[in-house]
């Protein structure tokens, strides 16, 4: 890529696969379990985190030299909280129904370990451009897993994708339902997300054996 140097490109590529915040670092699990029952909610959540982490990383990186080390956590919290409030207000204004589905979890982006983790581990020690790429990369890595989990949970649990009935109508028995197929109620409840994430981790580690920790 001519746009980015190889080092910069890795900042985005790494969190997507071999250093994924969810499947490798196992961070941000709460929201991954809670809101992935529908694909739409997963996508919106992914975009929200993308915004918060991308902008937040830049802001922290810009002021990294003037933050007193002792109160840096408080400063970080203020930055995340302001960004999350913006996201929350935008959602309430333009996607009210969805913001009700996401409910408290938009607010809880503040406590998402991925965000504080990137602020602490990266933005405090790197320039704004690199921090921006790092934030985008990690948010995308988080979002990819969210979308995969949301896809399977909505498809198998409700038979829909983005609310569209792709497998037929369960009430009037069309499509797959006419031959006796039924939605899997287990996929709707949060433990199913844990198992789907587990299977993703399993697949990823059997493909790349270097990721398996020493026992």
Establish if 186 lies at the interface with another protein (CB under 8 A).
yes
Region of 21-29, 49-57, 65-73, 176-184 interacting with another protein (CB under 8 A)? 176-184
According to DSSP H, which parts of the chain are helical? Answer: 6-16, 29-34, 39-62, 72-94, 96-102, 104-107, 113-121, 128-158, 191-207
Between residues 82 and 208, which has the closer beta carbon with respect to another protein?
A: 208
The nearest distance, CB 186 to another protein, in angstroms, is 4
CB nearer to another protein: give 182 or 213.
Answer: 182
In order of 69, 105, 153, 183, 196, the CA distances from 157 in angstroms are 47, 21, 5, 5, 12
Distance CA 209, CA 73 (A): 36
Tell me the two tokens of residue 129. Answer: 């451009």
Please identify, using beta-carbon distances, which residue of 68 and 180 lies nearer to another protein: 180
Residue 202 contacts by C-beta under 8 Å, 6 or more apart in sequence? none
**Binding of another protein at residue 214 (CB under 8 A)?**
no
185 counts as binding another protein under rule CB under 8 A: yes
Nearer to another protein, 91 or 187 (CB): 187
Binding site for another protein (CB under 8 A): 180-182, 184-187, 189, 195, 198, 202
């Amino acid at each position: 890529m001519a746009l980015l140097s190889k080092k910069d490109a890795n900042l985005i590529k790494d969190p997507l696969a071999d250093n994924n915040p969810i499947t490798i670092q196992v961070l941000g699990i709460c929201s991954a379990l809670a809101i992935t029952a529908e694909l739409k909610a997963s996508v919106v959540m992914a975009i929200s985190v993308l915004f918060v982490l991308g902008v937040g990383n830049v802001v922290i990186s810009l002021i990294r030299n003037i933050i007193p080390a002792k109160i840096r956590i408080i400063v970080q919290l203020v930055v995340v909280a302001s960004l999350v409030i913006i996201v929350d207000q935008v959602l309430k204004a333009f996607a009210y129904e969805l913001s009700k589905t996401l409910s408290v979890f938009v607010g809880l982006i503040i406590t998402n370990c991925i965000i504080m983790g990137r602020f602490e581990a990266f933005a405090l020690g790197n320039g704004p451009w690199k921090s921006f790429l790092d934030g985008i990369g990690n948010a995308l890595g988080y979002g990819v897993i969210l979308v995969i989990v949301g896809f399977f949970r909505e498809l198998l649990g409700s038979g829909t994708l983005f609310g569209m009935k792709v497998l037929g109508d369960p009430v009037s028995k069309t499509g797959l339902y006419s031959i006796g197929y039924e939605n899997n109620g287990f996929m709707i409840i949060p433990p199913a997300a844990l198992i789907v994430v587990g299977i993703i981790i399993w697949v990823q580690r059997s493909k790349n054996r270097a990721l398996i920790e020493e026992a």
